Amino acid sequence: DQIALTLNAVVPGLDEDKFQMLAEAAKQGCPLSKALASVSSITLTATLQDTA
């Protein structure tokens, strides 16, 4: 079993490192991720899009 999550976001004032940290923390702490803990692989592709 595998789940692939894709996140695309525009967040003014947030740098890439902080965005990636927050996205990964959300994935780890998400109640849905915890409920699906038996899934062998949950991947996250998080992209911070430029606001310009």
Mean pLDDT in consecutive groups of 10 residues from the start of the chain, 52 residues: 93 95 93 87 94 68
- Measure the N-to-C terminal CA separation of the chain; round to a whole number of Å: 38
**Structural domain of residue 13, as residue ranges?**
2-48
Indicate the number of domains in the chain. Answer: 1
pTM: 0.79
Which residues does 11 contact at the CB level (< 8 Å), separation at least 6? 19, 48
Q: How far is CA 42 from CA 5, 8, 13, 14, 27, in A?
A: 7, 17, 28, 25, 9
Q: Report the pLDDT value the prediction gives residue 46, as an integer from 0 to 100.
A: 97
Distance CA 25, CA 48 (A): 15
